[in-house]
Chains A and B, each alone.
Chain A
Amino acid sequence: MRFLPLIVKNCLRNRRRSVLTVASLSISLCLLGVLMALYYALFFGGPAKAQARRIVTRHKVSIVFQMPIYYREQIRKVAGVEEVAIWQWYGGVYKDSRDQRNFFPRLGVEADRLFKIYQDYRIPEDQKQAFMRDPAGCVVGRSLANRFGFQVGDKILIKGDIFPFDLDLTIRGIFETSEGSDEALWFNFKYLENALHDSSRLAAGTFTLLARSPEDVPRICREVDALFANSPAPTKTESEYAFGLSFLSFLGNIKVILMSICGAVTFTILLISANTMAMSVRERVREVGVLKTLGFQAGTILWLILAESGLIAMIGGAIGLAVAQLLCLVIRQGPAIVDQTKTLSIQPPVFAALVGVSLFIGVASAIAPAWSAARQNIVDALRFTD
């Protein structure tokens, strides 16, 4: 502690350089923080509390293949399954498909079962009842409603592309959720039944199940898949959390991509910091000689330089962490690629990892110049001219 004032004053010796170094560290560590938070949320965070009991069953080959709707009743009989609901992807075109801002998920759902499974989704009771009563009714998420200015009672026309008919819907309600994505339109599955005329053409895109408890989820997944293992439409059943993550795999190996970016960011910061520390120490070779003349030992000199670099890195890390937390807040407000981004934050393990990375950068970037300075001969150091 007695050397702290000296360390702080050395950090402030060249203010512009220190500020720029701290700024570059902050920006890099902020980026690293958000990436690590995302990585943690996706692969270590686990499902949100409300999501923990939900399971999704899809066709084993691909989600684009359909399953017979009678699967629902067989799945319902599996021990521990409280509710099952059909989901059917409609697709379609809203206004103009060339404008990507007009894209949002449009799904046929079983209105009477839906909110039993999605108990964390909030919708006024009268709107929910209106939705269930109206075969041509739909509900939209709050974010989607805000984006397009939708109001209850508005008409929406979706042109069919997969299905040979259009959807002429009336908004009956607006739902909200704090943890999942609410950028979606859900219409009544009965609309599909009525429009297709032929019930044999009806099929389910996916089934969403509600398990009695999170502990039942793995067993239910196994038992449901076993039910249809030898059928023409075998299933793949997994937690809703895992189902959501499977969409990410379309983008590639997200783990490798995130880890590669994190590694590149860390290495780049290390180079920037090492360059700065090398310059800083080089400017003070004579002073190192003076300190040694006064009786400072090589170990003390080494420690002083490492502490200085560590302090700069920790300040950069602290600012980066704070900005990363703010960025996570912004990401939480944005559209959700997966549900985990709706609760994105700097969790304690990520916090600890970032502090560790900051400290590592501080020490690793200064170790070579600090070691060199500490071992410098006094007379050579005093004669040093930059």
Chain B
Amino acid sequence: MSDLVISTSKLTKEYIRDEFKVVALRDADLEVRRGDFVALMGPSGSGKSTLLHLTAAMDRPTSGTINVLGSDLNSLSDSAIARWRNRHVGFVFQSFNLIPVLTALENVELPLKLTHLKKGERIQHAATALRLVGLGERLGHFPRQLSGGEEQRVAIARAIVTDPDILLCDEPTGNLDARSAQEVLALISTLNKEHGKTIVMVTHDPHAAHHAARIRYLDKGELLPDGSKPQDWN
């Protein structure tokens, strides 16, 4: 397999909002190599999350091509995309998005229910993922019984439990205090450096972005060339 994990060409996404056409992303060309850690930065509405969603095949582009791990995402059916996402992509949300009625262990086990693993194996994998994020003692806790930082670590465990090739993080520290944010960023860095995960992280926070090996900026729906950033960006 090529070293190129994510490759987009002239990727464009337009929305219709109240009869008006909104261009969320215009002609984005992004390349991410295996083991890379890329931070996507930019002001609100610049298209960061849109690019991340398109990369995870959570949405379809209006035009352009997107190739992830050798698959042309435009050519896959909805069910094939769902299987592909389960196998290859882990996604971490800003607001954790844990299922409140499930324990930490059950939340992490959830993506494994779509695999052929038996219950015992699923539990074992989920427990291992939770131990990896430092929550080995919190398996039976419900989300409401965890702090924000712990919830996000459960979410990260859920994202990595299927051992995906790519980890996509959408503002993973956006809802956390400084200390928890630091712990989560350290964890994400560890997953990149020690476990070789390819990571694309959307963030507003320059401090968070500096954990990444590369930072790409977006502005008004355009992905700026490597090394450049918006003029009014501090």
Contacting pair A378 B102 (CB below 8 A): no
Contact pattern, B 57-84, Cβ under 8 Å of A = 1, otherwise 0? 0110000000000000000001100110
Q: How far is the CB of B66 from chain A (nearest CB, A)?
A: 15
Q: Does B91 sit at the interface, judged by CB under 8 A? A: yes
What CA separation (Å) do A248 and B56 show in the bound complex? 68
Chain A: interface size category: 20 to 34
Q: How far is the CB of A283 from chain B (nearest CB, A)?
A: 11
Q: How far is the CB of B45 from chain A (nearest CB, A)?
A: 13
Contacting pair B114 A379 (CB below 8 A): no
Q: Which residues of B contact A10 (CB under 8 A)?
A: 101
B53, B101, B106, B158: the one contacting A294 at CB < 8 Å is B158
Contacting pair B59 A378 (CB below 8 A): yes
Contacting pair A298 B58 (CB below 8 A): no
Contacting pair A290 B59 (CB below 8 A): no
Contacting pair A295 B85 (CB below 8 A): yes
Q: Which residues of A contact B100 (CB under 8 A)?
A: 13
B82, B93, B97: the one contacting A295 at CB < 8 Å is B82
Contacting pair A294 B93 (CB below 8 A): no
Contacting pair A290 B113 (CB below 8 A): no
Q: How far is the CB of A386 from chain B (nearest CB, A)?
A: 14
Q: Does B128 sit at the interface, judged by CB under 8 A? A: no
Q: How far is the CB of B135 from chain A (nearest CB, A)?
A: 18
Q: Which residues of B contact A377 (CB under 8 A)?
A: 59
Contacting pair B99 A290 (CB below 8 A): yes
Given contacts A294-B111, A297-B78, A297-B82, contact A287 B99 (CB under 8 A): yes
Contacting pair A293 B91 (CB below 8 A): yes
Given contacts A3-B113, A297-B79, contact A290 B101 (CB under 8 A): no
Q: Does A12 sit at the interface, judged by CB under 8 A? A: yes
Q: Which residues of A contact B53 (CB under 8 A)?
A: 378-379
Contacting pair A294 B114 (CB below 8 A): yes
Look across to chain A and name the residue whose beta carbon is closest to the beta carbon of B83. Answer: A295
Look across to chain A and name the residue whose beta carbon is closest to the beta carbon of B168. Answer: A293
Look across to chain B and name the residue whose beta carbon is closest to the beta carbon of A291. Answer: B110
Q: Which residues of B contact A2 (CB under 8 A)?
A: 113, 119
Q: How far is the CB of A165 from chain B (nearest CB, A)?
A: 78
Chain B: interface size category: 20 to 34
Contacting pair A292 B97 (CB below 8 A): no
Which A251-298 residues have a C-beta within 8 angstroms of B?
286-287, 290-298
Q: Which residues of A contact B158 (CB under 8 A)?
A: 294
What CA separation (Å) do A5 and B123 show in the bound complex? 14
Q: Which residues of A contact B87 (CB under 8 A)?
A: 295
Q: Which residues of A contact B106 (CB under 8 A)?
A: 5-6
Contacting pair A293 B85 (CB below 8 A): yes
Look across to chain B and name the residue whose beta carbon is closest to the beta carbon of A299. Answer: B79
Q: Which residues of B contact A331 (CB under 8 A)?
A: none
Look across to chain A and name the residue whose beta carbon is closest to the beta carbon of B90. Answer: A294
Look across to chain A and name the residue whose beta carbon is closest to the beta carbon of B85. Answer: A295
Q: Which residues of A contact B119 (CB under 8 A)?
A: 2
Contacting pair B110 A294 (CB below 8 A): yes
B82, B85, B91, B102: the one contacting A6 at CB < 8 Å is B102
Contacting pair A13 B101 (CB below 8 A): yes
Q: How far is the CB of A371 from chain B (nearest CB, A)?
A: 14
Q: Does B86 sit at the interface, judged by CB under 8 A? A: yes
Q: Which residues of A contact B82 (CB under 8 A)?
A: 292, 295-298
What CA separation (Å) do A296 and B79 show in the bound complex? 9
Given contacts A2-B119, A297-B78, A379-B58, contact A290 B85 (CB under 8 A): no
Contacting pair B114 A290 (CB below 8 A): no
Given contacts A297-B82, A377-B59, contact A9 B101 (CB under 8 A): yes
Which B93-149 residues have a C-beta within 8 angstroms of A?
93, 97, 99-102, 106, 110-111, 113-114, 119
Q: Does A382 sit at the interface, judged by CB under 8 A? A: yes
B58, B97, B111: the one contacting A286 at CB < 8 Å is B97
Contacting pair A296 B114 (CB below 8 A): yes
Q: Which residues of B contact A299 (CB under 8 A)?
A: 79
Interfacial residues, chain A to chain B (CB-CB below 8 A): 2-3, 5-6, 9-10, 12-13, 286-287, 290-300, 377-379, 382
List the 9 shortest-distance A-B pairs measured between CB atoms, nearest first: A295-B86, A378-B58, A9-B101, A297-B82, A294-B111, A290-B97, A379-B59, A295-B85, A293-B91
Write 17 A-B pairs (CB below 8 A) sorted by A numbering.
A2-B113, A2-B119, A6-B99, A6-B102, A6-B106, A9-B101, A9-B102, A13-B101, A287-B97, A287-B99, A294-B110, A295-B87, A296-B114, A297-B82, A377-B59, A378-B59, A382-B93
Given contacts A295-B114, A297-B82, A382-B93, 12 further A-B pairs with CB under 8 A are: A2-B119, A6-B99, A9-B101, A12-B101, A287-B99, A290-B93, A294-B110, A294-B158, A295-B86, A295-B87, A296-B114, A300-B114
